[in-house]
A and B are shown apart, each in its own frame.
Chain A
């Protein structure tokens, strides 16, 4: 038993003569709905994009205080660990200047 409402609302597609027109209508309908979805998405996203452009820009502010120790910042810890033992010996052997 088929529900009559469905067959009445949409013509059956197995009719060869009506197939092309049915397909046409169907395709046009789906294209329209796809475009609608894009617009709906755009309508949702555009304010966000606009908001991001207006207020959400990443702002990099300079620190209030000057950075004191920029010197030696690229010296790696592993280098310091490697040299530490030798440096301690050097300091002991040259006590008059340390």
Chain B
């Protein structure tokens, strides 16, 4: 199971590296966020979208776009794997993950409200889709 996941991550990484150039490293195997992603997330440049992927709150620099696109590619690979295991579509699994991820945002981080606008997470519960658990 683990080796399969790593292989998927490695595949996604290889695809990302081909698509996005030499910015990709083997950081995916670490359990910490990519520093550029972590910094952009803290700075409110990127936020959690409803659909389970990261979105840009402000127009990103090319380097940041590459990092975030890579994260989203890896997310999609994980969603696809898990969706298949749970007899769901990738979109269903991704949207469910979006519910969880928006709920897990920390105060100050950005997330997408059901109307599509970017919101800053406050101390209270975030605005989420009515279908979220």
Contacts and interface: CB of A to CB of B under 8 A. Distances in A.
A69 B96 contact: no
6 contacts: A72-B51, A77-B131, A80-B95, A87-B93, A97-B75, A98-B101
B86 A83 contact: yes
B74 A83 contact: no
B21 interface: no
Interface in A80-98: 80-84, 86-88, 90-91, 94-98
B64 interface: no
A91 B102 CA distance: 12
A58 interface: no
Interface residues of B, number: 35
Interface residues of A, number: 23
Given A71-B51, A80-B132, A88 B30 contact: no
Contacts of A98: 75, 97, 101
Contacts, number: 80
Contact of A68 (B31, B78, B116, B132): B116
B114 interface: yes
B71 A80 contact: no
Nearest to B75: A97
A64 to B, nearest CB: 14
A94 B99 contact: no
A84 B27 contact: no
A84 B50 contact: no
A75 interface: yes
Contacts of B30: 96
Given A91-B100, A91-B101, A95-B31, A68 B115 contact: yes
Interface string B10-41: 00000000000000000111111110000000
